[in-house]
Amino acid sequence: MEIERFNKFSGTLEIELTRPPEKIPNTGCFRGAADAKIKSLALTVTTEIADQPKYAERALTSQELLSVGFRGAQIQLRGRAGITVLHNAPNGEYFTVEELFDAVEITEQRTRGESEWFGGIDIHHIFFAGIHQASDGVWEIHWDS
C-alpha cells in the first residue's frame, strides 16, 4: 500500500513566528508566545539512507517524489489544531508523494496557528510521523517532538 511507504519518509516543519519562542518552565521545551502568529511554515522532506548510521538522511529522488503516495481523488487531512482541510488530487485520481507532502504542508500552513500547546502555538511537535486514518475517515497528520 502506498501510505505505508509514504509514512516511512521523514520531514521537519520549519516554523518562524512573529515573536521569539518562550521556554516552558521546568522543561527543555519551547512554545509559541500566546500572542505570536506564524510568519512562515515550510516542510522539508527527507528519507533515511540505507546502510548508514541511524538518522543519516537524504533528499527524496525524483522517482520517489513522482511515485504514487495516495490513491484517491481527494484526501482530508487534520493536523495538530484538529481542523480538517480538503485537498483535491491534481490529476483527479491520485496524489504523488510530492503532492501529498504539499497537502500536508498546506494543511499545517492553514491550521498550525490555531494549535495550542502550553498556552501557545505548538512549535514543539515538528517531526513528521506519518498520516493515519481516523474512524471518521479523515487522515490525521502525526508529529513527533
Confidence label for 59 from pLDDT (cuts 50, 70 and 90):
confident
The answer, yes or no, to whether residue 54 has pLDDT greater than 90, is: no
Span 87-112, pLDDT tens digits? 999 999 999 999 999 999 999 999 99
- Run of H or E residues at 47: strand 38-48
The candidate with the shortest Cα–Cα distance to 108, out of 23, 14, 21, is: 14
pTM score of the predicted model: 0.92
How much of the chain exceeds pLDDT 90, in percent?
73
Q: Phi and psi (nearest 5°) for 12?
A: -135, 130
Give the helix, strand, coil percentages of the chain, each rounded to 5.
20, 40, 40
Confidence label for 28 from pLDDT (cuts 50, 70 and 90):
confident
